[in-house]
């Protein structure tokens, strides 16, 4: 199963406070452990929301909203994408993670939808299209 591990933003991360050398080293070591275990698929930190935008959808209308966004507890500072055997395994790995911020931090784990989650509505034709898109995207990354 794939899971997204979501590191919530803090006031410091939203202010653009960068991690110190110790934190970068600890996270680098942790990420190496994830790679050696065959778990890490991807992972990145994100710039503060002041550098971002949102697009609000309402029917056919689209509205662009410039950051910063006020409520930090609803913002994401970074993420990992992991391939694990179970949610329990993901939790055990996350409990080994260094605290990603120098303050109280919340990190969320959410399962990623897989093809079988969509049932009969995800027809063979749509599955083929999805596979083709994934292959094309992977080829562009190389």
Tell me the DSSP string of 109-139. Answer: EEEPP-GGGGGGGS-HHHHHHHHHHHHHHHH
Please give the sequence-ordered ranges of beta strands (E in DSSP) within the chain, or none if there are none.
Answer: 2-8, 40-45, 53-58, 61-66, 76-83, 107-111
| Contacts with 16 (C-beta within 8 Å, 6 or more apart), sequence order | 47, 48, 50
Q: Is the predicted pLDDT of residue 25 greater than 80, yes or no?
A: yes
Q: How far is CA 76 from the centre of its chain?
A: 8
Query: What domains appear along the chain, each with residue ranges and CATH number?
Result: 2-111 (3.30.70.1060), 115-142 (no CATH)
Q: pLDDT tens-digit profile of 106-141?
A: 999 999 999 889 999 999 999 999 999 989 998 998
Q: pLDDT tens-digit profile of 81-110?
A: 999 999 999 999 999 999 999 888 999 999
Q: pLDDT tens-digit profile of 46-70?
A: 999 999 999 999 999 999 999 998 8
Q: What is the pTM of this model?
A: 0.88
3-state secondary structure of 9: coil
Q: Is the predicted pLDDT of residue 27 greater than 70, yes or no?
A: yes
Indicate the length of the chain as a whole number.
142
Q: What is the pLDDT of residue 87?
A: 98
Token pair 């050398």 is found at 21
Q: What is the pLDDT of residue 72?
A: 67
Q: What is the pLDDT of residue 70?
A: 81
């Amino acid at each position: 199963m794939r899971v997204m591990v979501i590191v919530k933003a803090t006031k410091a991360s939203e202010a653009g406070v960068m991690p110190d050398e110790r934190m970068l080293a600890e996270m680098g070591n942790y990420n190496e452990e994830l790679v050696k275990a065959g778990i890490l698929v991807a992972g990145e930190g994100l710039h503060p929301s002041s550098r971002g935008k949102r697009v609000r959808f309402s029917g056919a209308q689209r509205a662009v909203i410039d950051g910063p966004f006020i409520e930090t507890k609803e913002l994401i500072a970074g993420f990992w994408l992991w391939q694990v055997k179970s949610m329990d395994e993901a939790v055990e790995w996350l409990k080994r993670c260094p605290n990603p911020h120098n303050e109280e931090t919340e990190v969320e784990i959410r399962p990623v939808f897989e093809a079988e989650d969509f049932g009969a509505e995800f027809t063979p034709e749509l599955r083929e299209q999805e596979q083709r898109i994934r292959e094309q995207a992977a080829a562009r990354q190389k």
